[in-house]
Amino acid sequence: MLRPSATFWQMRDYAVWGPALIVTFVYGLLAVFSFDDARKDVLKAPMSNSIPWVLTAGVAMLISGLILGAVTHTLARQLGGDGTWAPTIGLSMLIMSITDAPRLVFALFLGGDSSLVKVLGWVTWLAAGALFTSMVSKSHDLPWQKALGASALQLIALLSLLKLGTL
């Protein structure tokens, strides 16, 4: 936990599908409530409408995580990386969800327009960038510059999908 590089090096050959799918799905369920307008719509709607909306958000986040992880893996391979796809995708899904958790928790209670939530959004996005770069570097045996390049599309997507919605 306190040594992400060593963890990423050790986990480069292990798929983490179970935790990645569960954490990303739960993150998606909660993410609906971090956006002020979406939270109001879900809470005002009848339960028969709210539950499908929240479940759809969880599935959408899961699919987005899978696609973004696959893009990161493909870019890493194109840049000369030698890692396998399952650990790259699973770890990228975990990084995506877990690094944004502090912003999400505060957004649930303070709303997405809070200054603290906005600052946390940028800080957690930078932390995600550092972790993505480290993970791709270790799992694909790439120098950090190429690892950052392979992670760039995922970082831009996270910024536009998750962070800018609250910023």
pLDDT of residue 167: 43
Residue from 95, 33, 92, 26 nearest 61 by CA:
26
pLDDT of residue 164: 62
Q: What is the pLDDT along the chain (167 residues), one digit of tens a residue?
A: 578 777 887 787 888 999 999 999 999 999 888 877 888 888 888 888 889 999 999 999 999 999 999 999 999 999 999 989 999 999 999 999 999 999 999 988 888 788 998 899 899 999 999 999 999 999 999 999 999 999 999 999 888 877 665 44
Q: What is the pTM of this model?
A: 0.89
CA distances from 134 to 12, 48, 83, 119, 120 (A): 12, 43, 13, 23, 21
